[in-house]
Structure 1
């Protein structure tokens, strides 16, 4: 997984739509420094952390310590295009993309590739963090054979004037979800419930979190009624506003030459937020001479959606990225970056880009937002609107897609949410235990 931090404007957008100053870029930088365990930069480098749990590493840095790095024809072409061909190639191939400098979001250049990795190059993921907590004896239970099917609510009024999340219904069994290729048809698992003393936190991702909310009766009233799901809260934004980074492969012919592969970030002629917006990553490898993955950052299209196919929690939802939907011209223009004399892409270019585009960075399907935004599912502290005792903490919460790769930002907002909840408890502001909701 690539560790590439979003632009300051991505974080400040969250502040702008919520008015919550904790979302300002300067505060989010502090969260990154808190969680990062940097394995490549010099100790004390601004904007980085060296005592956290989130492991980051740059492979080219280790190579450089063994001697000068050599680029290739593609890297040399990038350097010339970006006006940095007077730099030493080693300096370019180890340039820190997450360096905290004032003009970071404007710099077009070659950079080193930073990944979520331990110092030995082994991949780091959230699994490692959870496993470390279990191994340390923390009070956490991990089940690999449970499928959440519904959030349970108390609507009697005994737990407050809003519907209160008091637990989760789930199925116990192996491979129960239709998205699992190992699933045995007809296996319904065993229905069970677990009660929550204080809160329920949903972290199913950009697809399954909206699905679970919808199955629980939180979503657009008309959509829920299609499947005879009792409406707990009419919240039309659930599953809407799905965003994604458009990605497209480029295959070269001929020989690029050997050498260390770097990555490039640059500003197209159609930047949505007047900052660099295109990421190129590639290298030589059989059977192709050279391949490049081109990723569009700062995407503006928010017309994707996640909807139910049925009321069956074992079923997969309907997912439509709706790439290049009407109103997102900046995305298609940036991908082409070759406007004709009228300032727009030719139809052949557009058709070709549509066919080649794919995506795998889904976010924002339960977006946070302002109190007066009817499509905002969450408030600035990740709490689901219209109910009590329920938060969503995952990539579905972003108000807009955070830059190029949402993985590191998702770790950051997870830490942010944890800090928020701890602060509430310490201040005595957390939701009180609802005795009426607890099992007898």
Structure 2
């Protein structure tokens, strides 16, 4: 150990996301010909019109619409981002994209819970071998930060909300069945269990946080310099004390620009 900085690896934060997957009666017309390859008709349409407005699926981010809302009136900020995708999307795991390619008759509502309370996750080295995978534990929900199930209940509210959006499609016969979590899952406790075991995240942040002088867990100063080290800075999603906004990419671009200014100012 060269420098003892207790905050390194602490404060790991992420979103909670979960997918409510519905099977529709017929394949979506807009996906006709979509094989998600550079040899299919959808790709040819995109290639021909990529510099202009186009209705090609490959010219979009995949979401057909989105809703930003509060999970409860007492939340200080809107904390749910619910968006629909014309795919069977149940999170990230090896081979997850096969469902997207093989099934063109699904509507998934992805429910993202932002401004989470959980701040007790961590990253730790297992050994001195730099090639060994570190121990990463997000300590989701109450395991990490007791909050009287506020985060969990917020995701449950998101699931109930997107089900309300889907109900008219079921009545019209457009949606045949909710496959996940399934229409038999109706009670709050059943939906809580679904969320506990099926939620995921992909915005890991905050394990090398900027903080003021004297703060016990502050790893970096305001110019991204590692405290106590010379010539070493960190500029990535780990620098935030709290995970920002709904999605982190624009905030990461911002700190990249800020760090470039800080480095140039020190030359």
- Is contact 1:246-1:358 (8 Å) kept? yes
* Structure 2 residue 129 is matched with structure 1 residue 312: yes
The residue number in structure 2 matching 1:327 is 146
* Structure 2 residue 64 is matched with structure 1 residue 244: no
* Alpha-carbon separation, structure 2, partners of 1:408 and 1:349: 32
- Is contact 2:205-2:240 (8 Å) kept? yes
The higher relative CO (CA closer than 8 Å, separation ≥ 6) is in 2
- Is contact 1:258-1:284 (8 Å) kept? no
User: Residue 337 of structure 1: CA displacement?
Assistant: 2.2
Q: Which 5+ residue runs of structure 1 have no aligned equivalent?
A: 1-230, 339-344, 426-440
* Alpha-carbon separation, structure 1, partners of 2:5 and 2:211: 13
Alignment of 1:257-272 (within 5 A): 261-269=64-72
Alignment of 1:202-351 (within 5 A): 231-254=1-24, 261-269=64-72, 274-285=76-87, 286-324=103-141, 325-328=144-147, 329-337=149-157, 346-351=188-193
* Alpha-carbon separation, structure 1, partners of 2:262 and 2:80: 33
User: Residue 271 of structure 1: CA displacement?
Assistant: 6.3
SS in 1 for 2:19: strand
For residue 362 of structure 1, the aligned residue among 204, 210, 214 is 204
- Is contact 1:271-1:334 (8 Å) kept? no
User: Residue 265 of structure 1: CA displacement?
Assistant: 1.3
* Structure 2 residue 235 is matched with structure 1 residue 418: no
* Alpha-carbon separation, structure 1, partners of 2:73 and 2:228: 39
C-alpha change, 1:420 and 1:262, in structure 2 (3 Å) is same
- Is contact 2:14-2:116 (8 Å) kept? yes
TM-score by length of 1: 0.40
* Alpha-carbon separation, structure 2, partners of 1:252 and 1:337: 18
C-alpha change, 1:270 and 1:350, in structure 2 (3 Å) is farther
User: Residue 364 of structure 1: CA displacement?
Assistant: 0.4
* Alpha-carbon separation, structure 2, partners of 1:241 and 1:298: 14
Compute the RMSD of aligned alpha carbons. 2.4
* Alpha-carbon separation, structure 2, partners of 1:323 and 1:292: 21
User: Residue 258 of structure 1: CA displacement?
Assistant: 6.4
The residue number in structure 2 matching 1:372 is 214
User: Residue 255 of structure 1: CA displacement?
Assistant: 5.3
TM-score by length of 2: 0.64
User: Residue 252 of structure 1: CA displacement?
Assistant: 2.3
C-alpha change, 1:355 and 1:266, in structure 2 (3 Å) is same
